[in-house]
Amino acid sequence: MNGYGHHPTSPYGPTSPYHEEEETFELTAPQIYRNPNSFDFQFQDSVPSARPIMPIRPGHNQNYSPPEYSLPWLQPTPRMSGGPDSFPNTPYESRSASPTLVRIRPVSAACHRPSHSRGRKPYATIPMKPTKLTQVSVAIKQYQNSQLQSAQSLTNLVDTPITPSFAKEWVQTGSGSIARLDDRDDVDIWKGWKRWVFKFTPFLTFTNTGLYLFYLGLRVYCIIMAQNAAGFSYAGAWVFVAIEIAVAIPSLMHNCWTMMALKKRGRAKLRLIGNECPTVDVFITCCGEEDEVILDTVRGALDQDYPNDRYRVIVLDDGRSASLEDSCSQLAMTHSNLFYMAREKIPGKPHHFKAGNLNYGLEQSLMLPGGASQFMAALDADMIPEQEWLRAVLPHLLVDPKMALACPPQLFYNTPASDPLAQSLDFFVHVIEPIKDAMGVAWCTGSGYVVRREALEDIGNFPLGSLAEDVATSTLMLGKGWKTAYIHEPLQFGTVPEDYGSHLKQRTRWAIGTVDTAFKLKFCAWGDAVKQMTIAQRFSGFLYATLSLYTLLLTASLFAIPIILLWGKQLVAYANQDQLHWLIWACFASTIANRLCEFALFIPAGYHTGQRGSRYQLWMSPYIALCIVRSFLLPKWLGGQTQAFKPTGSLGSTLNERDTNLRKNMFVRLRVILFNFMALFHFAFVYVTLVAVAISSYRCFYTESGFKGIVICLITHAFWPPLTFLFICSSLWTPVSYAIDPPTMPQREDLLIRDPKTGVAHPTKKSKKIAFGGQAAWFEFQYEIATIVTVLIFVYSFFF
């Protein structure tokens, strides 16, 4: 939420070298082969071409004899520790798919390669140990995995829910079973009266959509009637209607999607208990982030309530940091399941950023002792997992053999009060993603997800040549008939970018990646890549791609309001007083219905979170539109290239605007944000619009006589409810207000609770929530003013 920065789902630290390197993208490479089922993406060859820069850290017996395909640099080092059963020597196709697996037939000593593993050397000859039956009654369903019948999963859950204390002792209460803790996975996030109100969302949305369409139709009818009566064209009114329609498009599209929330989401809250657990390779991808940030994620991953011999933590360091390598070596002395890898990146040859790093990890894990695990999990460098992360996500894959991927929300612990730049993504993760999950089209949001290795191989591993490899991955899986799940539990917490420039770069990269992926997937409308998608899944893919493209229209429409007002034309045309009455009444009904709909829809994320998202769409649209034009419309000889937003000029240092000790003074911040980060457009737009409103209002007082005439003139020119210019100006002013008064945040360490013995750190309870600040109060005040004015105009309409 796109290289090492992805689609709307997961910020990367601003110091990553990828943020500089990925300004130019090469989508093809000589050493990459084209998978015949991969449309325009490319996938790496199955034979790894790069090697770690240090021996992989211990996770196996020192006396282990590597299989025939092992390389010399994979030999164990003297520091390696762990018993002979520390990680079973079984390839991932032969490991238990669930803790209650019963072997259907004996497996020969030599495990056969699956048919989709063409080009790989045979797996090692490994004796298979039968798994033991669970103590709880479960039904076992056989699942055919290519030539090897080894992937099976639970179909029935434990009858009696178990309430764990989330301490390490609780995992010993059972032996290989799944507990159903609640019928809803989000039971701890929001409950009570909020759920009752949210149930009315589809009906309120339907009402709101109907009233708004009626209002727009009435506007068009009245303009036509006014033109017929007056004998001339109302150009200003036509332009204003076009603006209203343009601004309404994303809302109407979201409304259509929201009405699908009528379909009940039935994702239960599950926990995997006991020690009979499937094996997992946890990849931590990093590239130049601060060592302490990465190590907090590593320690959190090593501190899972999960048997140490059933999962490995593999640090995939694309920054080749010597200090990080040394720190991992130290940790590996006490954690035998920790490994460090760093691929060699040859200058001039595309390395495909995060997707290439993940594919490298997939290939190298095949050569680890015991082969690859059946499941792969991934964490961003800054995402600290909660202790129950694996036990909470894996059951959703185990109960359904066609479930390819399960992903929890990305949450953050360093979001400033009021979240002035709308960095939290709360509306997306708490409202949009659960609705998408109910429709069977949950996205991979880039971090914290667990994926079935078989499903990854079915699509040729992570697709290359895309800035949104996570979205592309989950979409390709859906196109192949697999399922994806969204686990609505707070299971990981990371950091948002701490400066304005990094935020712009991150979000524009997400938008470009989403559009680029949509083009390659033909907007999920047709093609072999999406042939097994449902109608709802295709509509979702189309919707979120077109919303990014829509910023072009939205940005162009912003210019219309000040132009019309300076032009001196009225925004609303009508033939007689009755038509004006009906227009005001329809506008009032639509506005109030929209307010009620927003209140109900935003409840899971918080009302103010939804409002921030609406403002964010406006002030970010010029940046996204500019990058889309550069990436997809401009030819190269005119400066066109696929890249995220890039500041103009040369910046000698960052602004450090959230650090009271290091931040630049206000004049430097204003200069950099207005000129280098092109917020001068926002500044000019707001002032031109306010001047236009003042001039238009002056004309009403100058040309009209009497209170009634002046009020009607004001209403039909600048102050037509719900004061659209006020909402747009306050939204576009965001970069300027941020430069003048940026939020202050404490040091990262102050937001964490750290175990002094183990060094494991988790965010404080307070830091996990976004505080209500003065900016949120100011925006709410403006919103209420606009609503009150709408009500007053409605009441006054009965007296003229």
Assess whether 419 and 460 both reside in one domain.
yes
Report how far residue 478's alpha carbon sits from residue 484's, in angstroms, rounded to the nearest whole number. Answer: 7
Report how far residue 683's alpha carbon sits from residue 740's, in angstroms, rounded to the nearest whole number. Answer: 12
Last-in-domain residue among 459, 479, 498 = 498
Assess whether 687 and 738 both reside in one domain.
yes
How many C-alpha atoms does 134 have within 13 Å on its Cβ side? 29
Domain assignment present for residue 757? The answer is no
Q: Which residues, in sequence order, are bridge partners of residue 412?
A: 494
Assess whether 396 and 480 both reside in one domain.
yes
Count: domains in the chain: 2
Assess whether 340 and 248 both reside in one domain.
no
Domain assignment present for residue 543? The answer is no
Query: According to the model, what pLDDT value does residue 261 have?
Result: 60
pTM: 0.78
Q: What percent of the chain has pLDDT over 70?
A: 76
**Confidence class of residue 349 from pLDDT cuts 50, 70 and 90?**
confident
* Nearest CA-CA partner of 720 in 753, 686, 689, 693: 693
Assess whether 647 and 716 both reside in one domain.
yes
Ranking 57-61, 309-313, 694-698, 713-717 by mean pLDDT, the lowest is 57-61
Assess whether 663 and 732 both reside in one domain.
yes
Domain assignment present for residue 551? The answer is no
Specify whether the CB–CB gap between 2 and 513 falls below 8 A: yes
> CB atoms < 10 A from the CB of 244, how many?
18
Assess whether 489 and 615 both reside in one domain.
no
Last-in-domain residue among 448, 477, 498 = 498
Residue 633 lies in domain = 194-223+233-262+558-751+771-799
Assess whether 258 and 273 both reside in one domain.
no
Q: Are strands 752-754 and 761-763 parallel, antiparallel or unpaired?
A: antiparallel
Domain assignment present for residue 145? The answer is no
Across the range 8-27, mean pLDDT stands at: 37
Query: According to the model, what pLDDT value does residue 108 have?
Result: 27
Assess whether 86 and 202 both reside in one domain.
no
Element (H, E) at 177: strand 177-182
**Residue 290 burial class via C-beta count within 10 angstroms: exposed 0-12, middle 13-18, buried 19 and up:** middle
Query: According to the model, what pLDDT value does residue 295 have?
Result: 97
pLDDT tens-digit profile of 539-585?
Answer: 777 777 777 788 888 888 888 888 888 888 888 999 999 999 999 99
Which CATH number is 357's domain given? 3.90.550.10
Specify whether the CB–CB gap between 445 and 9 falls below 8 A: yes
Secondary structure in 3-state letters for 231-293 = CCCCHHHHHHHHHHHHHHHHHHHHHHHHHHHHCCCCCCEEEEECCCCCCEEEEEEECCCCHHH
Domain assignment present for residue 160? The answer is no
Say if residue 92's pLDDT is above 80: no
pLDDT tens-digit profile of 434-484?
Answer: 988 988 888 888 899 999 999 999 989 998 877 778 888 888 888 888 999
- Write phi, then psi, for 624 (nearest 5 degrees): -65, -40
Report how far residue 377's alpha carbon sits from residue 362's, in angstroms, rounded to the nearest whole number. Answer: 11
Secondary structure in 3-state letters for 553-590 = HHHHHHCHHHHHHHHCCCCCCCCCHHHHHHHHHHHHHH
Instruction: Report the chain's mean pLDDT, rounded to a whole number.
Output: 77
Last-in-domain residue among 455, 476, 498 = 498
pLDDT tens-digit profile of 119-142?
Answer: 333 222 223 233 322 222 222 222
Q: Which residues contact 706 (CB under 8 A, 6 or more apart)?
A: none
Tally of residues, the chain: 800
Find how far residue 21's CA is from the centre of its chain.
Answer: 22
Across the range 18-30, mean pLDDT stands at: 36
Residue type, 317: D
Structure tokens of 502?
Answer: 């990094």
Domain assignment present for residue 743? The answer is yes
Assess whether 590 and 669 both reside in one domain.
yes
Domain assignment present for residue 689? The answer is yes
Domain assignment present for residue 431? The answer is yes
| Max mean pLDDT range (206-220, 377-391, 568-582) | 377-391
Specify whether the CB–CB gap between 445 and 407 falls below 8 A: yes
Assess whether 336 and 363 both reside in one domain.
yes
Say if residue 272's pLDDT is above 90: yes
Across the range 616-643, mean pLDDT stands at: 84
Assess whether 437 and 563 both reside in one domain.
no
Report how far residue 267's alpha carbon sits from residue 435's, in angstroms, rounded to the nearest whole number. Answer: 11
Say if residue 488's pLDDT is above 90: yes
